[in-house]
Amino acid sequence: MDESEATQRRKGGVRVGECHCGALKVIAAGEPERVYLCHCKACQRRTGTAFHFGVTYRRTQVRLEGEYKIYERVADSGSRIRFYFCPTCGSNLRWESERNPTLCGVAGGALENFDLMPNSSIFEQSMHPWLELPSVTEHHRQGRAPAPG
């Protein structure tokens, strides 16, 4: 995809991301509910870095194209969380939790031309002390409250 096509997709309200090998794509339509950083130990282990960069969408706005596998575990909140990843390269592009059944997460770093900055930070009790978050306006020492039902 050339740069002008990617710009048209973004302006049309669609953001596309792909895994490391390109076999799995995530397509998100419309604007996200929130853009956040998670500093929990599980996300640090899963991403292999200091924090996870996530984008929350309504589940109906997101679809996957390509083969994927699912890894499921109990989240720090106590609810079950499912991760959708490429079976070839292992990249995780989407996840969902029973805690917020209408929402899902997308890996922000995988999205082409993603231009939104994070405004929320969760599990800051595990945040590395050298990390500064100039764009974040919403801070949580632990998780965020569940979405209203």
- 83 within some domain: yes
Question: Does some domain include residue 65?
Answer: yes
Q: Render pLDDT for 75-121 as a digit per residue (tens, 0 to 9).
A: 877 889 999 999 999 999 999 999 889 999 999 989 987 788 888 88
Structural domain includes residue 61: yes
Residue 91 counted as domain residue? yes
Nearest to 119 by CA among 32, 5, 57, 34: 34
Instruction: Confirm whether 146 is domain-assigned.
Output: no
Residue 145 lies in a domain: no
Residue 111 lies in a domain: yes
pLDDT digits (tens, 9 = 90+) for 133-147: 766 776 776 766 666
* 147 located within any domain: no
- pLDDT tens readout for residues 52-73: 888 999 999 999 999 999 999 9
Range of the domain at 7: 3-139
Q: How many domains does the chain have?
A: 1
Q: What is the CATH classification number for the domain harbouring 97?
A: 3.90.1590.10
HEC assignment per residue over 59-128: HHHEEEECCCEEEEEECCCCCEEEEEECCCCCCEEEEEECCCCCEEEEEHHHECCCCCCCCEEECHHHCC
